[in-house]
A and B are shown apart, each in its own frame.
Chain A
């Protein structure tokens, strides 16, 4: 799930703090923004835009945080609309719905733990690449 490749450079303390904050931003927004999934994406996007011209290390981690939020946004939005349809429309609670909500919770929880872990490691200047999102970030973010 996680790889920690060696970087050819040592990020300084300021970079580590900014990069770590990009993850903290999505964690904070997740807590504040529940149950509206768009809130954490917007928060992470603002942080990304503010730092897109920053150093490679900061940019890279802001991008990874943003891309992971976009993925979560899709699954959370579907869950939210499904729930609203049950509450305000004629849809009924079913096994498929409960299974979806549990699946989304598992993915969100995993993402949450991963985000907190990465925020701590990045603050310690350790570069953390997530499975899939790390590779995707490498495609977007060139040194």
Chain B
């Protein structure tokens, strides 16, 4: 019995000793990991934007782009993020959607602008997406769903366009995990409050979207990628009310917003 116990202890020491000895080797440093992720992210971002530029048309109208940039500037500056870090792209697409891509690219569809009742609703959705960017959710999601090895192959330049399309679909048509969505909501509320924008608009947007039926599938894109919109709308309102803030400054008047939509010929919804 004593011999077996002795051998067992030796085996435990052997196991932990091997583990300890091996962990002294620097397989990967935090700097190396961060550098690798940043390089991969920048290349992936470039590749995706190149793909978008081939299939989608970017809105060039100054008045439209200006208000989207203004929303970004107000949200970012309020919380100490460099607004230039977020690369905004407005594209012609009737889907009600906005999404974050690698390398801090934020895509806003014209469908979202058309659906929003005012500029602050759009700012709220942008705040949510900026939250995902600020927390590094985009790459985390990609690594989880596509895999680190596959991403390595992709940025190595040997990828087929179909694989890249899959990665793109992963980012645009599937949700982040529940905790990340809630975190992005919380951040959007925080950004809006600090930027003097009323988070109630984001809550209204989410609630309205959750009430849409499937007769207009283009409405449903942001809903399908953002489940539990109704509950989250209530949570956003709760956070807003808890802040005690009552005075806000809208991004644009309703007239300005409507005239912008008219200029874009977006009143088709």
Interface residues of chain A, those whose CB is within 8 Å of chain B, are 75, 87-88, 90, 92-96, 98-100, 102-103, 106-107, 131-132, 135-136, 139
A88–B8 CA distance with the chains assembled, in angstroms: 34
Q: Are A92 and B15 in contact (CB under 8 A)?
A: no
Contact status of A99 and B4, CB under 8 A, knowing A88-B144, A106-B18, A132-B11: no
A99–B18 CA distance with the chains assembled, in angstroms: 8
CB contact between A135 and one of B4, B19, B23, B25 (< 8 Å): that residue: B4
CB contact between B23 and one of A75, A99, A106, A107 (< 8 Å): that residue: A99
Q: Smallest CB–CB gap between B3 and chain A, Å?
A: 6
Residue of B nearest to A93 (CB): B28
The main secondary structure of chain A at its interface with chain B is helix
| B125-152 to A contact mask, C-beta < 8 Å, 1/0 | 0000000000000001000100000000
A98–B1 CA distance with the chains assembled, in angstroms: 35
Q: Are A131 and B7 in contact (CB under 8 A)?
A: yes
Residue of A nearest to B177 (CB): A88
B26 within 8 A of A: yes
Q: Are B22 and A132 in contact (CB under 8 A)?
A: no
- Interface residues in B1-46 by Cβ distance below 8 A to A read 1, 3-4, 7-8, 10-11, 15, 18-28, 33
Q: Are A95 and B23 in contact (CB under 8 A)?
A: yes
Q: Smallest CB–CB gap between B100 and chain A, Å?
A: 18
Q: Smallest CB–CB gap between B9 and chain A, Å?
A: 10
CB contact between B4 and one of A96, A98, A100, A139 (< 8 Å): that residue: A139
**Which residues of A are found within 8 Å of B4, using beta-carbon distances?**
132, 135-136, 139
**Which residues of B are found within 8 Å of A100, using beta-carbon distances?**
19, 23
A92–B28 CA distance with the chains assembled, in angstroms: 11
Q: List 5 A-B contacts (CB under 8 A).
A: A95-B25, A98-B27, A99-B19, A99-B25, A103-B18
